[in-house]
Amino acid sequence: MRIAVFCSGKGSNLQAIIEAVKRGEIKAELSLVVSDNKDAYALVRAREAGIESVVVEPKNFSTREDFEKKIIEHLEKKKIDLVCLAGFMRMLSPNFVRRYRNRILNIHPALLPSFKGTQGVKDALDYGVKITGPTVHFVDEKMDHGPIILQSAVEVKDEDTEETLAERIHREEHKIYPLAIKLFVEGKLKIVGRRVMILE
Ligand code: GRF
């Protein structure tokens, strides 16, 4: 199985996936990193790990369709089976989702369906929840919506700032994202309606 990871920024989840592949926990090839931002630190991580990367910037395309067409070309060239969104700050079109139906995963820094969108950590903190944490889910046509694979609870402390809370959430992300990918690669995820069963 061949995996592509899509990133826009720091790429700490990419790093966790790189390490899980290296340790042999995820038995797949991390074949490609795709970024929509040429300055993403994720690209440095890819280079250091010897993984091929491509930058596809929306500003160079007149439509989202053309932008995604270019990405799909790269995915097809590399015969990618699984797309992992890891801090990719862009919605994929229904057309893209259809093309890779049930083969796109995402990590979100809140317990879905709460606090969708780009400010999941801040929104949870501002709302005053006592428990939050990351969610790994399949991607469907709606934002932060597809069937949930794994979640992890993180306690919100009185003294938390967005930064301290985000750091503890990230630590959990780095455990559950590689684990969800491992389960996918081993064929252990079965989608039944909105539920994802984890097979023995
Ligand atoms: C993570 O918090 C993830 O939940 C969200 O974007 C952030 C990406 O962080 N989707 P990184 O680039 O992997 O460090």
Residue nearest to atom 6 of ligand 1 (CA): 87
Best residue among 7, 13, 143 to mutate for probing ligand 1's pocket (most ligand atoms within 8 Å of CB) is: 13
Given this model, what pLDDT does residue 121 score?
98
User: Tokens 């091929």, residue?
Assistant: 52
Alpha carbon of 48 to ligand 1 centroid (Å): 19
User: 146: how many CB neighbours lie within 10 A of its CB?
Assistant: 21
> Within a 10 A sphere around the Cβ of 59, how many other Cβ atoms?
7
Minimum CA distance residue for ligand 1 atom 2: 109
Residue 91 carries which DSSP code? P
- Among the listed residues 3, 7, 65, the one whose alpha carbon sits nearest the alpha carbon of residue 37: 7
Taking the model in full, what pTM does it have? 0.98
The pLDDT, as a whole number, for residue 76 is: 98
Q: What is the pLDDT of residue 45?
A: 98
Report pLDDT for 145.
97
- 24 dihedral zone (left: phi>0; alpha: psi -120 to 50; beta): left
The structure tokens 């959430």 sit at 169
Ligand 1 atom nearest 109 alpha carbon: 4
What is the reported pLDDT for 100?
98
Q: How far is the CA of 196 from the centre of ligand 1 (A)?
A: 22
CB of 15 closer than 6 angstroms to any ligand 1 atom: no
Neighbours of 70 (CB within 10 A): 17
Domain boundaries defined on the chain: 2-198
Nearest to 101 by CA among 163, 67, 166, 147: 147
**Residue ranges in the chain modelled with pLDDT below 50:** none
Q: Which residues pair with 195 in a beta bridge?
A: 192
Q: Which residue among 170, 174, 176 has the greatest number of ligand 1 atoms within 8 angstroms of its CB, and so is best to mutate?
A: 170
Measure 7 CA to ligand 1 centroid, in angstroms.
Answer: 8
Q: Is the shortest distance between the CB of 11 and ligand 1 below 6 Å?
A: yes
pLDDT at 56: 98
- CA 10 from centroid of its chain's CA atoms: 13
pLDDT of residue 51: 98
- The stretches of the chain forming alpha helices (DSSP H) are 12-22, 41-49, 64-77, 94-99, 120-127, 162-185
CA of 188 to the centre of ligand 1 (A): 24
Summarised one tens digit per residue, pLDDT across range 69-98 is: 999 999 999 999 999 999 999 999 999 999
Mapping DSSP to helix (H, G, I), strand (E, B) and coil, where does residue 22 land? helix
Q: Mark whether 108 is an active-site residue.
A: yes
Instruction: Indicate the CATH number of 2-198 among 3.40.50.150, 3.40.50.170, 1.10.150.120, 3.30.360.10.
Output: 3.40.50.170
Question: Residue 61 burial by CB count (10 A; 0-12/13-18/19+): exposed, middle or buried?
Answer: middle
